[in-house]
Amino acid sequence: MNIVNILEEIEKVDGEVYERLNPRRAAMKSFVNMGKKVSLAAVPLALGSMFQKAYGQTLPTAVKDVLNFALTLEYLEYHFYNHAVLAAPGLLSGAALTAISTIRDHELAHVNLLKGALGATDARPALAYTDFDFTAGGTFGDVYTNYNTFLAVAQAFEDTGVRAYKGQAGVLKGLDVLTTALQIHSVEARHAAHIRTMRGQKPWITLGAGGVANDTGIAAVDAVYAGENEEMQTGVTITGIATGVTKAAAVESFDEPLDKAKVLVIAGLFIR
């Protein structure tokens, strides 16, 4: 979950969110500029201030629900990686440990960003590792003892995040915060690409077995990739559009969006 997803979901329950924010363009410009100069740890305070100025001291219930949903997803990702780093002996070492530790730290920053936006009173109680089941009811029983299983599940998580973001940048057109949103998106995409390289794969989604765009090799996460084998864009069939453009090439060239309802189904596999 990222700033674009958050604002899009808030717009669904508060159609005036952009009117609330847009008159404060100067403040939002300062927020973007600050993001270029200070550590990520300071961003939650800035985002919290932005929402407080937009809504006053009290967030509407519907907006709080949206932010707390996002917070739940960020807790899920943070605890997934944090447990691997701290409590799964022998699972990670060397460069892999460094990479997963960095991704873990990014997810913690996202948790703190949302907590800052909500404030201490409105943020849902902190979720612990024990609030999740990263085996998905035993489907991934060796997720913390088998390096390959762990990376496959991590890949599914990261691909879910990237797809949920796709197509949402347009709602921020004309707002200064779009710059920050695109910076966040690029980092999330790099997470997904890096996990793939750790698995010895291409750094983008490719067609898996049976022509399905699920290259994790695990059928249980097919929902993450539903619709990703699309070979038509804006009414144009990409396959065969030029010599050598196969269906695989057409699929690899584009990511498809994933809506909130589908994300909830996927996340529900891991939430107790």
The residue among 31 and 215 whose pLDDT is bigger is 215
Q: Would residue 187 count as lying in a domain?
A: yes
Q: Would residue 116 count as lying in a domain?
A: yes
Do 17 and 10 touch, CB atoms closer than 8 A? yes
**3-state SS assignment for residue 232:** strand
pLDDT for the residue 9: 67
Burial of 93 (0-12, 13-18, 19+ CB in 10 A): exposed
Count the domains in the chain.
1
Q: Stretch 130-150: mean pLDDT, rounded?
A: 97
pLDDT for the residue 237: 94
**Cα of 170 vs its chain's centroid, Å:** 17
pLDDT for the residue 175: 42
Q: Would residue 246 count as lying in a domain?
A: no
pLDDT for the residue 73: 79
- Could you tell me which residues are beta bridge partners of residue 132? 271
The residue among 215 and 136 whose pLDDT is bigger is 136
The Cα–Cα gap between 188 and 183 comes to 9
For residue 171, name the pLDDT band (cuts at 50, 70, 90): very low
Q: For residue 67, which of 120, 121, 123 has the smallest C-alpha distance?
A: 123
Q: Would residue 229 count as lying in a domain?
A: no
pLDDT for the residue 235: 92
Q: Stretch 9-32: mean pLDDT, rounded?
A: 57
Name the residue type at position 187: V
pTM summary value: 0.74
Average pLDDT value for the chain: 79
Name the residue type at position 130: T
The residue among 3 and 158 whose pLDDT is bigger is 158
- Full residue range of the structural domain in which residue 101 is found: 3-205+255-268
Range picked from 52-56, 82-86, 115-119, 185-189 for highest mean pLDDT: 82-86
pLDDT for the residue 43: 53
Q: Would residue 227 count as lying in a domain?
A: no
Number of other residues whose CB lies within 10 A of the CB of residue 236 = 8
pLDDT for the residue 180: 45
Number of other residues whose CB lies within 10 A of the CB of residue 223 = 16
Q: Would residue 73 count as lying in a domain?
A: yes
Q: Stretch 109-137: mean pLDDT, rounded?
A: 87
The residue among 185 and 168 whose pLDDT is bigger is 185
The residue among 2 and 257 whose pLDDT is bigger is 257
Name the residue type at position 45: L
Q: Would residue 122 count as lying in a domain?
A: yes
Range picked from 131-145, 154-168, 219-233, 257-271 for highest mean pLDDT: 131-145
**3-state SS assignment for residue 45:** helix
Q: Would residue 237 count as lying in a domain?
A: no
Confidence check: pLDDT of 172 > 50: no
C-alpha separations of 171 from 117, 166, 187, 270 in Å: 20, 11, 20, 30
pLDDT for the residue 161: 77
pLDDT for the residue 263: 81
pLDDT tens digits for range 175-198? 443 454 566 677 778 899 999 999
Q: For residue 195, which of 109, 113, 121, 102 has the smallest C-alpha distance?
A: 102
